[in-house]
Amino acid sequence: MKSIDIQKLLRVDPSQASTYDLPVFPKVIKLDANESPYELPADIMRQIFQSLEQARLNRYPDPSYWELRQMAAKEWGWPAEQILPGNGSDELIQAIIVTFGGAGKTVFVPDPSFAMYRIIAKSMGENVEEIPLSDDFDLALSDLWRERMYSLSQAGHLIFLAVPNNPTGNCFSRLAVEEIIEQFPGIVCIDEAYVDFADSNYLDLLPKHPNLIILRTLSKIGLAGIRMGFLLAGPVIIQHINRVKLPYNINILSETVAKVALSQKEAIKPSIAQIKQNRDWLYEQMKNIGAVRVYPSSANFLLFKVRSLEAEKFFEQLLAEGILVRGFSSQGRLRGHFRVTVGTREECECFLNGLKKILSSA
Ligand SMILES: Cc1ncc(COP(=O)(O)O)c(C=O)c1O
């Protein structure tokens, strides 16, 4: 058998790429992945099962996903022709980078922010530049960074801004985001994965800016399992991303469920309101614990730091209490920080009790 060094055939030097590894711990209160703790109301589930009975699994889906796009259009007030569904917004982030990245291009991402921007870009060999956020995790651009970002040629550079940002939970100042949309000589992608838990969005800027992309997802409002994201942009961007996107990227099962969910968004809203209420309650409770620094959040999670406790030990101790959160122990800027997803009120209470117990025995 001939010998081939597979490493030499790789597109990207593996030392430059990283993976999104999430540990799996059965039988814990799962507060690590920013999912909704609430299942869909029984009535919606019944409608979903009825619709699934009609789904023709022997056929490919409608390649244009026209009905689904029309329902998304109604929900967000943007033309169906200018909306693309994706297999989660992760797939759309990849499609954006495939379309607009490439040799000599730079993908800008704030630091800290959603890890997948970097991971996906790096997996394709892109040059990634991290824009350091200020101490309160805002986009406070120095003249140096302005020079670096705005003096690029128009050749398809990219910036991803998650608003609200993950894992910090805050919304960047609108002035800074609008400045970037206007000044950045490339594609600006505003990822609104957590917009349902915030008070504002950037949809109103779409008609004015042909370089703007908005991402939405159903993952955070009770449908993470179906993997359904949406990309909203002007017609030229849509046309080019459509060329890159795989045909039939949404399966019929997910398409069917998403159509029912979008038609019943009103019935999903109470769970969103409940999560916001739980978040504000949990924030207040955590703020009153001296050894904890918790950051305000416009999303469905809270970033926090436990002073005077070794991060890895704290993670293990919380796990022993049956609670899984997301730790950032190995990441420079967020070393010692954790992100807890807002669960049901009971789950939040369990987390809080676990936290207090660990602190009292420290
Ligand atoms: C900012 C941000 N964008 C996108 C995603 C991924 O969303 P989806 O489940 O639609 O792929 C996440 C998931 O945590 C996220 O935090």
Domains of the chain by residue range: 25-37+267-360, 42-265
pLDDT by residue for the chain (362 residues), tens only, comes to 788 888 888 888 877 777 777 777 778 999 999 999 999 999 999 999 999 999 999 999 999 999 999 999 999 999 999 999 999 999 999 999 999 999 889 999 999 999 999 999 999 999 999 999 999 999 989 999 999 999 877 566 999 999 999 999 999 999 999 999 999 999 999 999 999 999 999 999 999 999 999 999 999 999 999 999 999 999 999 999 999 999 999 999 999 999 999 999 999 999 999 999 999 999 999 999 999 999 999 999 999 999 877 888 999 999 999 999 999 866 678 989 999 999 999 999 999 999 999 999 87
Contacts for 109 with CB less than 8 Å, ≥ 6 apart: 117, 118, 121, 128, 129, 130, 131, 159, 160
Name the DSSP letter for residue 84. Answer: E
Which single residue is written with the structure tokens 């999670």?
301
Kindly give the distance from the C-alpha atom of residue 90 to the centroid of ligand 1, in angstroms, as a whole number: 6
User: What is the CATH number assigned to the segment(s) 25-37+267-360?
Assistant: 3.90.1150.10
The pTM for the full model equals: 0.95
Atom of ligand 1 nearest to the CA of 33: 14
Our answer on whether the CB atom of 166 is closer than 6 Å to any ligand 1 atom is yes
Our answer on whether the CB atom of 90 is closer than 6 Å to any ligand 1 atom is yes
User: What is the CATH number assigned to the segment(s) 42-265?
Assistant: 3.40.640.10
Nearest to 305 by CA among 321, 285, 290, 323: 290
Q: Tell me which of 137, 163, 170, 191 to substitute to probe ligand 1's pocket, judged by most ligand atoms within 8 Å of the beta carbon.
A: 191
Report residue 28 as tokens.
Answer: 């814990």
Which single residue is written with the structure tokens 């017609």?
235
Atom of ligand 1 nearest to the CA of 219: 9
Q: Do domains 25-37+267-360 and 42-265 have the same CATH topology?
A: no
Query: What does the radius of gyration of the chain's CA atoms come to, in whole angstroms?
Result: 21
Q: Tell me which of 22, 35, 94, 116 to substitute to probe ligand 1's pocket, judged by most ligand atoms within 8 Å of the beta carbon.
A: 116
